[in-house]
Amino acid sequence: MGYALTFEGLRDLAEGAAVLGTGGGGDPYIGRLLVEQQLKAGRTVTIIDAAELPDDALVIPSAMMGAPTVFIEKLPSGAGNIAALRALEAHLGRTAAATMPIECGGLNSMMPLLLGAQLGLPVVDADGMGRAFPELQMETFAVYGVSGSPMAIASDHGDTGIINATDNRRMEWLARAMTIQMGGASYISDYPMDAATVRRTAVPGTLTLARRLGAALRQARAEHADPFQALAAALSGTLYTHGLVLFRGKVTDVDRKTVDGFARGHVTLADLADPRDQLEITFQNEHLVARRNGRVVAIVPDLICTLNSETGTPVTTEALSYGQRLTVFAISTPDLMRTPDALDCFGPTAFGLADPYTPVEHLTAVP
């Protein structure tokens, strides 16, 4: 049943998840190290399809919450993820049959693998964002009627909490404050649901997709091939139909602040040959909108990825710095993330952006 993750598969998955993280989700490097430690200790990460679980099996997603800028200053020890799961199990009076990611981007693609290895729990190959988003209500689970509450939250210090909010936005609002008090980072278990509901509401196969994207980048490097063509090829035939280069340039400005528990700001890139040709990306943990000379060329929930122009290595928002040569690569989101209800939940207006949502493949791309 399912497959066991190898060391190479883990490294590929981490890199692919950083691509899908669209600049956010936290750098998966730290999480990858924690999972590697488990594999070295002889433990196993088993990735399964939701179809392998009985309809009524309880699945409890697992994640970290907080600003990625905090995780790089205060490395997560991984101690709180078991505490969060156990607190939610105790509250529900039921035991989880599996865990899964709430987002397939960055660090949070690793945390369920860590928990799975620690406890011998299988990890469902799916997630609730199909990428990374900054807030807990921004889940396909939520769009399709699942309550995030009751959720559990834990610190690295042994504190735990349960939140039963009247809606998923209030859950985010209350959990964000707890996270800030816990030092800007917390471990959470939320959106507990049965496997039938996972199948109905999750974006399927995203852990395997991330692994394939990472493998494509690895192989392109080995073969001195174009990493962006490799990514586009790996995406074709998946739910993410389009992958295209939006811009290549040099970072000329980064404006980033950690406010209200988020990393918020802008990054500006200029074309190397024509510095008047500029692309500006606005982010809240994740990249939200890319504007080329003022015109929108990609907007949330489509994925805007900042990658090293030479190697295709993803660069997260907290690692952006002046002078980096980056290629901005866009990926179209799956159809279940483009419905009116989905756009209400995590489209442009959900982030206070006035621009309408237009699918990235309908906006002009640079070849």
Residues that bind its own copies (CB under 8 A): 87, 91, 157-166, 170, 173-174, 176-178, 180-182
User: Which strand (E) or helix (H) includes residue 199?
Assistant: helix 195-201
Compute the least distance from the CB of residue 53 to its own copies, in Å: 28
Contact 66, 139 (CB under 8 A): no
Compute the least distance from the CB of residue 184 to its own copies, in Å: 12
Of the candidates 243, 36, 228, the one whose C-alpha atom is nearest the C-alpha of residue 131 is 243
Burial 286-319 (b: 16+ CB within 10 A, else e): bbbbbbbeeebbbbbbbbbbbbebeebebbbbbb
**Tokens representing residue 228 in the block:** 């962006």
Cα–Cα distance for residue pair 125/85, rounded to 1 Å: 18
Which residue's CB is nearer to its own copies, number 8 or number 260? 260
Which residue's CB is nearer to its own copies, number 36 or number 89? 89
Compute the least distance from the CB of residue 314 to its own copies, in Å: 33
Which residue's CB is nearer to its own copies, number 91 or number 221? 91
Q: What are the φ and ψ backbone dihedral angles of 95, each rounded to 5 degrees?
A: -110, 140
Which residue's CB is nearer to its own copies, number 188 or number 307? 188
Compute the least distance from the CB of residue 173 to its own copies, in Å: 5
Which residue's CB is nearer to its own copies, number 166 or number 364? 166
Which residue's CB is nearer to its own copies, number 91 or number 266? 91
DSSP secondary structure string, 287-327?
EEEEEETTEEEEETTSEEEEEETTT--B--GGG--TT-EEE
**CA 128 to chain CA mean position, Å:** 9
Compute the least distance from the CB of residue 165 to its own copies, in Å: 5
Compute the least distance from the CB of residue 93 to its own copies, in Å: 9
